[in-house]
Homo-oligomer: A and B are copies of this chain.
Amino acid sequence: MGQRRTEVLHAAIELLDEVGLDALTMRLLASRLGVRASALYRHYPSKQALLDAMVAHLVGTGELPEAEWDELLRGAASGLRSVMLAHRDGARLIAGFHDPGPDAVAAFERLITALTEAGVPAAAVAVDTVMAYANGFTVEEQARKTRWPREGRDRAFDDGLALIIAGIRASMV
């Protein structure tokens, strides 16, 4: 059925890691599949639709583990950063242009509900703030040419995250 569609999607992700977002071309992707560019339009109506599908596939939507509210929040933020860092130009691709898609929205809602039940006031603000931070941090991290070692970047990310979580905790008194 739509199984060639999935092959195209996987080839696109492989090619992204190989050549980067700017060089990810319908024509180049087609040639990797042994096919002409025009053939791709049978599977995706436009390049943008293909990029959207890539984002949806990468982000996925995991289960919410059993954990304290702060661990939940840390997990969501690091999870987003991990998936971005796992692919070349992942931050630009994912943070980029897209209304969030129904799966992402649902995952957000579940997280907000969990925090609310754990007694976090204004849980939506907390989640939005942490996710905006993770997005902003990682976009800049991956855009920067001069890259310091992963260990230090992880620590910087965790330090900022800790600051926000302390702010949420302060609002809970």
Residues of B within 8 A of A164 (CB): 129, 133, 163-164, 167
Q: Is A83 interfacial (CB-CB < 8 Å)?
A: no
Q: Is A97 interfacial (CB-CB < 8 Å)?
A: yes
Q: Is A38 interfacial (CB-CB < 8 Å)?
A: no
Residues of B within 8 A of A92 (CB): 96-97
| A–B complex contacts, Cβ < 8 Å, 6 sampled | A99-B146, A128-B160, A129-B137, A135-B140, A163-B171, A166-B166
Q: Closest approach, in angstroms, between the C-beta of A99 and any C-beta of chain B?
A: 5
Q: Is A98 interfacial (CB-CB < 8 Å)?
A: yes
Residues of A within 8 A of B (CB): 92, 95-99, 122, 125-126, 128-129, 131-137, 139-140, 143-146, 156, 159-160, 162-171
Residues of B within 8 A of A99 (CB): 144-146
Chain B CB within 10 Å — which of A99, A125, A128, A146 has the most?
Answer: A128
CA distance A171 to B170 in the complex (A): 11
Interface pair A156/B128, CB less than 8 Å apart: yes
CA distance A94 to B101 in the complex (A): 25
Interface pair A122/B167, CB less than 8 Å apart: no
Interface pair B171/A139, CB less than 8 Å apart: no
Nearest to A165 among chain B residues (CB) is B167
Residues of B within 8 A of A163 (CB): 125-126, 129, 164, 167-168, 171
Interface pair B137/A132, CB less than 8 Å apart: yes
Residues of B within 8 A of A96 (CB): 92, 143
